[in-house]
Amino acid sequence: MAHRWPLFRLLASCFLVILAGCEQGDRAGFTAESDDPGYRRGKELLRQGRNQEALSAFLKVVEKRGDDSPESHLEAGLLYQQHIKDPIAAIYHYRKFRELKPNSPQADLVRQRIDAAKREFASTLPGDPLNNAIDPRFDAYEQVERLRRENEGLKSDLAALLAKGMTRPGGTQLPAERETTTTAIVPSAESSTVAPSANETTAPLTAFEPQRAAPAPLVRTPTPIPPVRAPDATSSARVHVVVKGDTLQSIALRYYGDRSRFRDLYAANKQIMASPNDLRIGMELRLP
């Protein structure tokens, strides 16, 4: 029994040494990322222009190596942004690269690519919020001013119509007031004289004279004046005041929901614009 105990200790020591060697071998099994077969295959596919297959190769490297794959994250981000046109996925992989290699010489360049991807995504949203970040209070003020100008124009048009004698839009004079009378039958008076009314200018009636109807007092009944049609507000040209960040494309998207309508805007404002890019803050553009 005394001889078996040293033998048991020797076997246990050998087992521990072998186990430690296996663990070290597993840790050393991950080579440098640039030497990883999956990463090298992805780079080769990139050179061949097979972008979708290259992206799959880099994503497999990320899945296999976990946080030991910053370069694969960077390559995936570039593919998502430049070829797949998915800025959200590109931003995720760019940020993973900066997280894993914050001191990399490429960190600043990757930050710029993140900003570019954000702008690309924002340009797909309605209203282009990054390029047209207008203070809502200013926008409301602009709308109030536009409505005020339109209201003043309507008042001026109405005053002009009233000054011309209440004419209809077609030029027809509105009918003036007219007098209407009602006729009453005066009862006959035998052997007596009928006293004339205050409005009657004829001689008194006698019993021997033919009876006639006496006019009743005049009653003025004004004829209703048809309402004057004010100029249609929609027929007057709308105006947009240019603010910082405006482009013809963003204005067309805002009013028509279609960026391509910027050509119509330019055609309607050629008298004040030298080119489609000739926008100045405060310029009033006519909206066709």
Over residues 90-138, the pLDDT tens digits come to 999 999 999 999 999 999 999 999 999 999 998 888 765 555 554 454 4
Q: Which of 59-68, 72-81, 170-179 has the lowest mean pLDDT?
A: 170-179
What gap in Å lies between CA 7 and CA 101, rounded to an integer? 50
Q: 276 and 248 in contact (C-beta within 8 Å)?
A: yes
Q: 249 and 280 in contact (C-beta within 8 Å)?
A: no
CATH class as words, domain 33-123: mainly alpha
CATH 1.25.40.10 in the chain: give the residue spans. 33-123
- pTM for the model: 0.39
What gap in Å lies between CA 259 and CA 277, rounded to an integer? 14
Apex 27 CA angle, 23 and 29, nearest 5: 110
* Mean pLDDT, the chain, integer: 74
Q: 132 and 250 in contact (C-beta within 8 Å)?
A: yes
Q: Which of 28-32, 58-62, 82-86, 281-285 has the lowest mean pLDDT?
A: 28-32
Which is nearest to 95 in space by CA: 115, 121, 79? 115
CATH 3.10.350.10 in the chain: give the residue spans. 136-163+235-287
Q: Looking at residue 265, what is its pLDDT?
A: 87
- 117 token code pair: 């991807």
Residue 61 buriedness (CB in 10 A; 0-12 / 13-18 / 19+): buried
Q: Looking at residue 127, what is its pLDDT?
A: 61
Taking the CA of residue 284 as centre, how many other CA atoms within 13 Å lie in the half-sphere pointing to its CB? 7
CATH code, residues 136-163+235-287: 3.10.350.10
Q: 81 and 87 in contact (C-beta within 8 Å)?
A: yes
pLDDT at 6 over 90: no
Q: What is the mean pLDDT of residues 58-83?
A: 94
User: What pLDDT digit, counting tens, does each position of 164-205 carry?
Assistant: 765 555 555 555 444 444 444 444 444 444 444 444 444 444
Q: 91 and 117 in contact (C-beta within 8 Å)?
A: yes
Lookup result for tokens 């960077």: 74
What gap in Å lies between CA 46 and CA 110, rounded to an integer? 19
What gap in Å lies between CA 103 and CA 121, rounded to an integer? 27
